[in-house]
Structure 1
């Protein structure tokens, strides 16, 4: 059972900084091309003032694997694989922080993961908790909870794609002191999604940010891969739930930039003189209902 506690660190380092969400189109199986594209986009984002750069889910490998053998062949070690090492090197050189999706190999197990690199090197890894559709054929569910990392920018957590559908993901992050959640994602059209409306994922992201007083930065991919379309719409949402950048286009590669003020995000959790979005929680009532024992069979 994972243990959750506040991230350690001095809140005095909180400041405003620029985030870049890279919306790109990885190619399935083209690891060298994907890495070269990612590094080019990171260079561009850094030149434009980004201190934190987020790339899509499985940005190094592509997403729609034919079978587990293909997923295994495209998976890498973290932090000792070529993609992780390249991101460490460019993060050091450009003095930036990078979050990117990657197929992670750990022994015989595969994880849909996000690596985190910074000017000091490898910071950590997050393993996707909630696997979507055929991901369950290839990957193990995440086994490291929702870690929060102290950085000079603020306290940063990660989630991946379908994790956004589960409010508990963000609540665990914020209750450990997170200021921001970075979300590498490969959002796909949802059942009954109208073509003329924003993706459901953007609404869920805004709701999660507002209900937790936490900023969220989502980097999606675009394109069609082995008949699977992706919806783009990368966005950066402030702690009040309103986008500060995006949503991006549904079909174009681009970089979305937004500024997050960490001190303002923390202060904004007080909605008025009497209400605070975290302190008003009624944990005495609903915490016992949130464990694995209730309900026995979800309706």
Structure 2
């Protein structure tokens, strides 16, 4: 039995608010990946309609999330692949309980509601095996979205134990630690990491600092956790989008990647033997499982 899992990463440019057009394009790329033998296909964050949280159309589209989630489940079942369809922004009615948990309540003509940025793991049989709602919101997301309240937990899948994080979560090693301590071997990170909110101060010091940040963090997270990191970023014009989607492994670093912000799909083998040997070398999981684990 092969120890390798064939993962496809799709770097996609989405037209804002064109939810049907973006869905159709995403499906085309997923079909391409399946035809190339992918067992797991991953799309980027906000790929269905971009991010325009103050636009009434955007708010209306967020209420349609179940329709597109169901269609992605049907696609995974049709193609016989596991699928992480990036993230889907969901509108849910506000409740007393959600207010207690600190969710941000927004209002419209349809009443009070919450927006969550959610990523799902769908099996090759079209079943939802788990989901994750983004906890670590970027500063411009905080006025519009609610944080996920569930703990970071690994998802049992036909490919092994998988964890999901979203974009800015990448900057929080604690999130990876929780997933790995729960048994995750692969951590999937859909993202929409762009340049339009880069630090002017940072750009003066290093005009390419966003590239340095992403490449450094993806590689660091795979080494320090003896796990594979599947980073699927949005693509598009290089004056706004960073791209750099990649799959990274301990010992190796990036196994395959897109080196710019262009659209595309690539495949990479996640070799479980590499993860096993890296743990034998670094003993990260063994340390975390010990009774005297000091963190």
| Interval containing the TM-score (normalised by the shorter chain) | 0.7 to 0.9
Higher helix share: 2
What is the SS of the residue equivalent to 1:233?
A: coil
What is the CA–CA distance in structure 1 between the aligned matches of 2:218 and 2:228, rounded to whole Å?
9
**Shift in Å, 1:240:** 3.4
Could you tell which deviates more after superposition, 255-264 or 82-91?
255-264
What is the SS of the residue equivalent to 1:62?
A: coil
Tell whether 2:280 aligns with 1:270: yes
**Shift in Å, 1:241:** 5.9
The answer for the alignment partner of 1:39 in structure 2 is: 27
What is the CA–CA distance in structure 1 between the aligned matches of 2:27 and 2:192, rounded to whole Å?
19
Contact in 1 for aligned 2:5/2:269 (Cα 8 Å) = yes
**Shift in Å, 1:196:** 4.5
The answer for the alignment partner of 2:90 in structure 1 is: 104
The answer for unaligned runs of 5 or more in structure 2 is 94-112
The answer for the alignment partner of 2:248 in structure 1 is: 237
The answer for the alignment partner of 1:89 in structure 2 is: 74
The answer for the alignment partner of 1:223 in structure 2 is: 236
The answer for unaligned runs of 5 or more in structure 1 is 1-12, 288-299
The answer for the alignment partner of 2:101 in structure 1 is: none
Which TM-score applies when normalising by structure 1?
A: 0.82
**Paired residues for 1:1-299 under 5 Å:** 15-63=3-51, 65=52, 67=54, 69-76=56-63, 81-99=66-84, 100-107=86-93, 108-120=113-125, 121-189=127-195, 190-191=198-199, 192-193=202-203, 194-196=206-208, 198-223=211-236, 229-240=240-251, 242-246=253-257, 248-271=258-281, 275-280=282-287, 284=292, 286-287=294-295
What is the SS of the residue equivalent to 1:229?
A: coil
Deviations 1:199-234 (A, max 9, x none): 412211110110000001011112259xx8120000
Contact in 1 for aligned 2:17/2:58 (Cα 8 Å) = no
Question: What is the RMSD of the two structures over their aligned residues, measured on CA atoms?
Answer: 2.3
Contact in 2 for aligned 1:238/1:244 (Cα 8 Å) = yes
Count of residue pairs the alignment pairs up: 266
